[in-house]
Amino acid sequence: MPIVTVKMLEGRTDDQKKALVEKVTAAVVETTGASVEAVSIVIEEMKKTDYAVAGVRKSDL
């Protein structure tokens, strides 16, 4: 039972998240041979204040 966690900054639309889930599921099925029903996707959204690169929060850019 593959479980995929996608971490990303908040701000994507429901349509974008739906497309992401469909395409990630298809890729997992294709590469692992798992059934579609066995694939779980978890989307974890982060606020820009809670994510930083090179010492700078995304909210400060």
Instruction: Say what the pLDDT of residue 40 is.
Output: 98
Domain chopping of the chain, boundaries: 3-60
Q: Which CATH class is domain 3-60?
A: alpha beta
Which one is catalytic: 1, 2, 9, 54?
2
Token readout for 13 is 């639309």
> What pLDDT is attached to residue 44?
98
Put simply, whether the predicted model's pTM sits higher than 0.85 gets the answer: yes
| Cβ count within 10 A of residue 28 | 19
Confidence at 11, pLDDT banded by 50, 70, 90:
very high
Tell me: the pLDDT tens digits for 19-57?
999 999 999 999 999 999 999 999 999 999 999 999 999
In the chain, the N- to C-terminal Cα span, in Å, equals 39
Distance CA 1, CA 23 (A): 17
Structure-token match 């996608």, residue found: 6
Output Rg (C-alpha) for the chain, integer angstroms: 14
> Which DSSP category does 27 fall into?
H
Active site residue 2: yes
Which pLDDT value is given to residue 1? 93
